Amino acid sequence: MKRANQMISCGAGAMFARTRPRARYAVTLGLMTMMAGCAAQSSKLDVADEADDSTMPAFRSSPSASASGTMPSGKGGGLASEELQRSEHVMAASTSDTGIYYHGGAVIPVVDIYYIFYGNWSPSQMATLTDFAQHIGDSPYFNINKTYPGVSGHAVLAGSTSYPTSMWGTSLNNGSIAGIVTFAINNGNLPYDANGVYFVLTDEGVAETDGFCSSWCGWHTWSHLNWFGGPDVRFAFVGNPARCPGVCIASANRSVSPNGDVGMDGMISSVAHELDEATTDPDLNAWYDNANPPNENADKCAWNFGATYAVANGSRANMRLGTRDYLIQENWVNVPGCGCALQYTGSCPPPPPPPPPPQCPASKPVCCETDDAGNCTVCIPRTQTCP
């Protein structure tokens, strides 16, 4: 049974008070310094608090940033909220306008994914994330990004490395993440790659004190490698959300998940979010909408998962890539009338059927409950309130 009043209540939007600071990373590792003039901007994945919409942090930009601007913050790692809240965050598609706009910057035509596993990782955890990165490219899901001119839909896992927490400790900040990426390149553990997106992935025991698990679930940004004037490096942070399952993991999969590790499965949706954004807005000056603060493509669909199916262990998934099932958030199709989707194959999915017309008599015109076929089963006069 569906309650009619629930069917029409989905409209109150969760507030996402994203700020977009211009981050100035004061990297303390002596590896990289970003001077004020080459400040990085970042874009965060929204965090949602299922307990109270008003406390939901948005996909915020870097915490250290202070100035507001018109560019995406890049911090879109994403915290999970309840599905209803997630769907409330999703923008409506227009039939005359794609709802997201180009601002002149670069996209990444063919993406090289690099993983930096930081901390204590089991072989199976690394295998799960690795398998995802080996199958995301050219998938029906990632091909949504082909609707952004210049993006091919190709993406490969081009390399990975790992570092123990003995190197930089278990409490990192945004500057530490930039420093780790810089170290990986300068130390020769990963190549410099102009088409690369370098993900720093942290284990459950590692904190990111600039907002992970409180303001966002991940973020992406760019900077100049080393000193001012170095080549453009695009990088991202996604932490293990087992630290905060109520914040950064989809509610359906907080106790059991498709690949048997709720942290890894939660992480993968955030990695997909950051990868979608880093592909279409790597320098935070290409594709984003007119909201204030702006939303990049994945921001527009954060925590919206579309149709799901049951996995044998009782968890939920919405796509299969290779031999694994995943629950990954939708992405924004850059075609008028499309909006959020799990794939794009050249046409938008048909719009949902309109709600059934009211079937109550004139004397009792208010429909309180409907059956599965949409027929009113409880009708009351206007002078009463639904039970």
Residue nearer to Zn ion on the CB measure, 47 or 157: 47
45 binds Zn ion (CB under 5 A): yes
Sort 170 into a burial class: Cβ within 10 Å, 0-12 / 13-18 / 19+.
middle
For residue 22, list its beta bridge partners.
41
Q: Which stretch binds Zn ion (CB under 5 A): 7-15, 116-124, 272-280, 282-290?
A: 272-280
Cβ nearer to Zn ion, comparing 76 with 239: 76
Q: Are 174 and 239 within 8 A, CB to CB?
A: no
| Subset of 275-294 contacting Zn ion (CB under 5 A) | 277
Backbone angles phi, psi at 185, to 5 degrees: -80, -50
The stretch near Zn ion (CB under 5 A) out of 27-35, 49-57, 273-281, 374-382 is 273-281
| From 16, 25, 59, 198, residue interacting with Zn ion (rule: CB under 5 A) | 59
> What number of other Cβ atoms are within 10 A of residue 159's Cβ?
17
* CB burial readout 336-375, b (16+ within 10 A) else e: eebbbbbbbeeebeeeeeeeeeeebeeeeebbbbbeeeee
Q: Which of residues 293-312 bind Zn ion (CB under 5 A)?
A: 298-299
Among residues 45 and 262, whose Cβ is nearest to Zn ion? 45
The residue number with the shortest CB distance to Zn ion is 76
Considering only residues 71 to 110 of the shown chain, the ones binding Zn ion according to CB under 5 A are: 76
> What is the rounded CA–CA span in Å between residue 303 and residue 269?
9
CB of 379 to Zn ion, least distance (A): 44
**Measured from the CB of residue 62, what is the shortest distance to Zn ion in angstroms?**
13
Amino acid residing at 310: A
Token duo for residue 206: 């590692």
Question: What minimum distance in Å lies between the beta carbon of 300 and Zn ion?
Answer: 9
Residue 329 CB, shortest distance to Zn ion, in Å, is 10
What's the closest the beta carbon of residue 211 comes to Zn ion, in angstroms? 13
Closest CA to 46 of 173, 172, 162, 217: 217
Q: Closest separation between CB of residue 19 and Zn ion, Å?
A: 14
- For residue 199, which of 105, 260, 273, 108 has the smallest C-alpha distance? 273
User: How many positions of this chain bind Zn ion (CB under 5 A)?
Assistant: 6
Residues in contact with Zn ion by CB under 5 A are 45, 59, 76, 277, 298-299
